[in-house]
Amino acid sequence: WGVCTNKLFYLAVPPNHFKDIFTHMARVGLNTPCGGDFGWTRVLIEKPFGRDLHTAKKLHTLLKKFFVDEQLYFIDHYLAKEIVQAITHFRFSNNIFETSWDKESIERITVRLLETIGAEDRGAFYDAVGAFRDVGQNHMLQMLSAVTMKYPRDMGASELRRRRAEIIDSLEPWTHKRIKEQTFRAQYKTYGNIEGITKNSDTETYIKLQTQLTHPSWAGVPIVLEAGKRMKESVKEVEVLFRHPALCVACTPDNHIHNKVVFKMEPDDKITIHFWTKVPGFEKKLEERTFTFFLYERSQKVQYVEEYAKLLFSAIAGDQSMFVSEQEIEAEWKFTDPVISAWRKNIVPLASYTPNTEEATQSAAHIGAEIMPKIPPIPKEMAIIGLGKMGANMAKRMMNQGWRVVGHNRTAESTNELIQEGLVPAYSIEEVIEALPKKKIIWLMVPSGKPVDDILFGKGGLTHYLRRGDIVIDGGNSFYEDSSKRAKKLQKYGITFLDVGTSGGPSGARHGACLMIGGKK
C-alpha cells in the first residue's frame, strides 16, 4: 500500500517453515523497519527453538540473515506469569530474605510442574518433544533462574536477560554417572492410545532430575526438577527450603524442622512462608504456621490469555524483558541435550505409571530424597583432660550446653573444684576410659609439645585404651607438623585425630571460643 507502519508478526509454526516464511518476508521488505521509532518490524516466535543446541544455533544463524536482535521476541509464556514476575520482586524489592538467599542459608530448591491433564489434545506435537523438552528445557529453568539469579543492576531487559542467562549457564555439566543416578523418566500407561502417538513410543510424560549450580552463590545446593502429565493432583510451584544448622529452641534431635518459602501458581498465584511457633497453652511444643498472601484473586481463568496479553503489549512497547534471549536458549539446550541423548540410549529405562495416581512420584522418590546425609546423633558425652583455666572453662561451657563431661587433671585439686558444677571426676586415664561410653570423644587441653605426646603415646597413655572409631581432639596450640605426625600415628590405630586450636583465652573458652579446626575433610 506504500504506507510506513508498525508491523508485528507472530509465528507459531514448526521451525522447518521459518526459512520460507522469512525469505518471502524479506523479498517484499517486511523484515526491515521503514522509519525511526515509527514503522518498526518485530517478530514473536513460539517454542520450540530447535530440537537441541545444534539446531537452535542454526535457527539463530538463519534469523540473523533477516533481523537484528532487537526485532526478535522468543516466547516463553512463563516469564509473563504473575508468580514468576512476583519471585523477582519478592527478592529484589524487599530486604527481608535476600541477605539469606544463597547457599549458606538455603538447603534445597525444588521446581514442580505436575498436571492432571494429559497430552490428548496435542498428541503428535507432544510425542515429538516429551516432557523434558516441553517444560523442563524452558519453563522450569526460567522459574529456577528467577529464584537464583544474581541481583540485577536494574529491571531493564538487557540486565534481566543477562542475569538469567548467567545463572542457567552455570548449571553443572552432566556426567554419565549423574544422569544414571539422578534422573528418572516415565510414561503413563494409556499414552500410546492417543491419536498421533507413534507405535511403541518411548516419549516421557514424567521427569524428575536432581542437579546443582556451579555459580559461587549456589554451588552445592541441590536443585530438584519434577514435571509430569496425568498426575494425581496439579502442583505448580517453586519451593525454597532453608537450612537449620542449629537445633532450634523447643526442637528435639529427631524433629529438626525447617523454614521454607513456596511460590505457587496453581490453583492460585500465592506466596507462602512456613515458620514455626509455640502452641498456645502450657506445653512447650511447636506447630507449623504460615504467612500466605495471594497476588490477586481471579474471577475466571482462561488459559494463556492473561500471559499473552502481557507478551503482546510488551512486544508492541519494544520491551524484551519477558522474552528469552539467544544466550538463554543456548544455555538451556546445553543443560538438556546430554540427558535426552542418554535417555535415547536407554541409560535410564523408561518406567510406566497408572494415570492420575502417585505411582510415578513414588517410583522417583529416590531422586533428591536424601539431600543432606543423615548423621547419627552423637551422644553428648566427652572427656576433657587438662583442667587449667582454659580446660576448666571449656568443661563448664560444655556442661551448660547439656553435655556430660568427664574431667581429669594432673592434680586432683582442679578436678575436685568442678564436681559441684556437674563434672564426672576421673583421677587417671584408665578412669577416664571407664567413665565414657563405647564411642569415646576426648578433648586435650594441655600444653603443646611433650605433654600431648605423653598423654597419647606414653606409658598408660590413651593409645593403650582407645579403639577404632574413637576421637581425640587436641585443643592446645600445637605446632602443625607435630599434629600431622600424631594424626598419622593414630590413624594406624583407627583413631580420628583433630587439631583444634582454641583462641580467646579463658573467657572465650567459657563463653564461646574461636576454633581453628584441622583434620581429615
User: Which residues on neighbouring strands pair with residue 213, listed in sequence order?
Assistant: 171
| C-alpha distance from residue 40 to each of 10, 32, 175, 330 (Å) | 14, 7, 45, 27
What SS3 state is found at 406? Answer: strand
Q: Tell me phi and psi for residue 298, to 5 degrees.
A: -90, 140
Does pLDDT of 232 surpass 70? yes
481-486 long-range CB contacts below 8 Å, 24 or more apart?
482/448, 482/449, 482/452, 482/453, 483/518, 486/452, 486/453, 486/456
Does pLDDT of 248 surpass 70? no
Is the Cβ–Cβ distance between 475 and 394 less than 8 Å?
yes
DSSP per position, 258-327: --EEEEEEESS-EEEEEEEEEPSSSS--EEEEEEEEES---S---TTHHHHHHHHHHHHHT--TTEE-HH
pLDDT at 521 (0 to 100)? 60
Does pLDDT of 494 surpass 70? yes
Set of cell numbers at residue 521: 575433610
pLDDT at 172 (0 to 100)? 96
In the chain, the percentage of residues whose pLDDT exceeds 90 is 64
pLDDT at 246 (0 to 100)? 61
Does pLDDT of 38 surpass 80? no
Does pLDDT of 378 surpass 70? no
| Helix 157-169, helix 326-344: angle, nearest 10 | 30
Q: Stretch 140-158: mean pLDDT, rounded?
A: 94
DSSP per position, 96-117: SSGGG-STTTEEEEEEEEE-S-
pLDDT at 267 (0 to 100)? 75
> How many beta carbons lie within 10 A of that of residue 463, not counting itself?
16
302: confidence class by pLDDT, cuts 50, 70, 90: low
Query: Among residues 419, 466, 420, which one has the least CA distance to residue 442?
Result: 466
pLDDT at 374 (0 to 100)? 45
191: confidence class by pLDDT, cuts 50, 70, 90: very high
d(Cα 263, Cα 270) in Å, to the nearest integer? 6
Is the Cβ–Cβ distance between 207 and 75 less than 8 Å?
no
Which of 222-231, 246-255, 275-284 shows the lowest mean pLDDT across its residues?
246-255
Show the DSSP H helices in 299-446 as ranges: 305-317, 326-344, 359-363, 389-400, 412-417, 429-435
Which of 51-55, 133-137, 196-200, 246-250 shows the lowest mean pLDDT across its residues?
246-250
Dihedral (Cα; 227, 228, 233, 235), 10-degree rounding:
20
Q: Stretch 142-160: mean pLDDT, rounded?
A: 94
User: Which residues on neighbouring strands pair with residue 383, listed in sequence order?
Assistant: 406, 442
444 Cβ contact list (under 8 Å, min separation 6): 385, 386, 452, 455, 472, 473, 474, 475, 476
Mean of all residue pLDDT scores within the chain: 89
pTM of the model: 0.71
pLDDT at 373 (0 to 100)? 45
Does pLDDT of 3 surpass 80? no
pLDDT at 235 (0 to 100)? 95
Does pLDDT of 371 surpass 60? no
Does pLDDT of 162 surpass 50? yes
Does pLDDT of 225 surpass 50? yes
Q: Stretch 66-92: mean pLDDT, rounded?
A: 93
pLDDT at 2 (0 to 100)? 66
d(Cα 391, Cα 512) in Å, to the nearest integer? 13
Does pLDDT of 208 surpass 80? yes
pLDDT at 204 (0 to 100)? 97
Question: Distance from first CA to last CA of the chain, Å, rounded?
Answer: 75
Does pLDDT of 377 surpass 80? no
pLDDT at 286 (0 to 100)? 80
Does pLDDT of 251 surpass 80? no
More confident of the two residues 48 and 87 = 87
More confident of the two residues 29 and 321 = 321
Sorted by where each starts, the structural domains of the chain and their CATH numbers stand as 79-245+324-363 (3.30.360.10), 381-518 (3.40.50.720)
405: confidence class by pLDDT, cuts 50, 70, 90: very high
Length of the chain (residues): 521
User: Annotated active-site positions, please?
Assistant: 139
pLDDT at 375 (0 to 100)? 45
pLDDT at 253 (0 to 100)? 57
Which of 163-167, 310-314, 475-479 shows the lowest mean pLDDT across its residues?
475-479
Query: Among residues 182, 110, 128, which one has the least CA distance to residue 348?
Result: 182
250: confidence class by pLDDT, cuts 50, 70, 90: low
